[in-house]
Chains A and B, each alone.
Chain A
Amino acid sequence: MKPLRGNFDTQYNTYIAAGEPLIFHCHHYNTFLQATLEDTKDYIDIYPILIESAQEIVYAQMNQFFSENQIAEIEERKQIAEDFFMFCGYGKFSLENVSVDGGKVVSESDHYSYGWKSKFGLRAENEPMVSFFTRGFLAGATEAIFNLALGSMECKQLSCYTKNDSFVSFELTKNINSKKLSNSPKQGTTQNHTLNNPNNTSVNYLGIREALTNMPIEGTPSSKGIIDAFGVLLTRMYSNYYCQTSYRMLKKLEETMGSDGLMLADQLLTEAGHVCAFNTFGGIMQSAEWNGLIKPMCQTREDWVHGIVAVVNAFGWGFWEILELEPAKKLVVKVTNGYEANSYLQTLGKSSIPISFLAKGGTKGIMNLIYNGDITTQPSLTDEYYSEICNSPKAFSVRQTKCRAMGDDQDIFEVYL
């Protein structure tokens, strides 16, 4: 079997696997973002968005990989899909019983199901099972494996850890009439750039990027496709999955609620980014990898800010550069080739509001962790600590002052007191 892996492309500062950009995010962001999107279910039909966005992306990626590598054998195609799912930290399943007409899939572990139960506990009786991403992945991969049209497969979830089941399983069936789905935006509207070491810190951005992008952060058969690193469950997630689900929600809210809908989406998605920063960045700054690779370069608290920004440059999120840092007061960050703008510009064109919500919440999170809370003292990253930080008089605010999707040539974020 020729495995699907991809490479880190330093020209774009992102991982590309068969045309699809992949970025690191943890279960806190994955499940919190999904919870945020599900919260809009009374206004919009959110569940098909959560499934079909994954289906479109996986279908495009697998088709490209099979075609470029001339892989025609069904069993090999199945192995590639199973292996890639595991490698990315999404979990582990077997397609052994899946035919062109569908079939049952039993999973040994599932990131969304396991991650959700870990973070939020069980779901209520009237709520659906949680693995919408996996449902879309399975449908899209099966279509590509059997040379079926996009939208021809349907996937239901039969059991889930969040429903107190001891395993996770799915059922694939063929649609009588194919659903009309869209093409993946793939890399989108990209920007080339070069990462440089800033001259006002001892933090070695280039060295950190090289070290981290060569680390074997991947799911394996023994880990059942779960990546437990930095105290969180990491995934190499499709950036287009976040963008398609978030921006489709944003557009639907705008359709139903007008500018109030846009404002609501902005608040919800920025908060998801802030939660991500608190847990992922916080976990990283309390990890053995931080202590070994980054902390020895840090002489000041400002170096901690540079250190975590250097780490972000290995996450596939584009190029993050600090334009201005006033200790405990202000941070200005420029993002080049940010995945949010790339995807938005490709699928929706120009926006009337700034749309890089993850980066907006993320930059605010950095300042809150380092100057509002004190991550250097190794606090427990609990909900109580999060509330304490958010409700503190020292809490930071953030605004996106430039946005590529609004016609600017870069994305700029200003975090301030």
Chain B
Amino acid sequence: MEEVFTLKINQTCRKFIKRCYSLKAPTNMLLVELLDDFGITEIQDFKKYIPTAKNTFKIAFDDYAYISGAIEDDLIYFTIPKQNEQLIQEFENVLIMWFKKIKE
């Protein structure tokens, strides 16, 4: 997994944790599409206002959990309720699968 990302876990004030993934490659639309199955995806078009900016995405779940990041950035956040190991595993599997695809 270290070939794909390094992880820092931050607390939030609520019963959530914010998992900050530093990826070994910048995110792209393929990753956003692969993550789309988790919830409802919103893209924020910042390039419309500042051409040098990066657009952002947010994939929201039912219970205030969400995945967010900037496209073409190497950081991605997963904010989830504590102790949801299964969901974390599913998310990291998608990151690994995505990384394999872009390396092919």
Contacts and interface: CB of A to CB of B under 8 A. Distances in A.
Interface of A: 28, 118-119, 204, 207-208, 210-211, 214-215, 223, 226, 228, 231, 279, 286-289, 291-293, 295-297, 378-382
Given A118-B13, A210-B49, A297-B52, A292 B70 contact: yes
B20 A296 contact: no
23 contacts: A28-B13, A118-B14, A211-B50, A215-B44, A228-B64, A286-B18, A288-B56, A289-B46, A291-B54, A291-B70, A291-B73, A292-B54, A292-B55, A293-B50, A293-B54, A296-B53, A296-B54, A297-B52, A379-B10, A381-B10, A381-B11, A381-B13, A382-B11
Contacts of A295: 73
A295 B69 CA distance: 13
Instruction: Bin chain B's interface residue count.
Output: 20 to 34
A288 B52 contact: no
Contacts of B52: 296-297
B75 A289 contact: no
Contacts of A378: 8, 10, 20
A207 B50 contact: yes
Contact of B56 (A28, A214, A293, A380): A293
Contacts, number: 83
B71 interface: yes
A288 B13 contact: no
A288 B58 contact: yes
A210 B77 CA distance: 25
A289 B54 CA distance: 9
Contacts of B53: 207, 211, 292-293, 296-297
Given A119-B13, A228-B64, A378-B20, A289 B56 contact: yes
Given A118-B14, A228-B64, A382-B11, A288 B77 contact: yes
Contacts of B44: 215, 289, 292
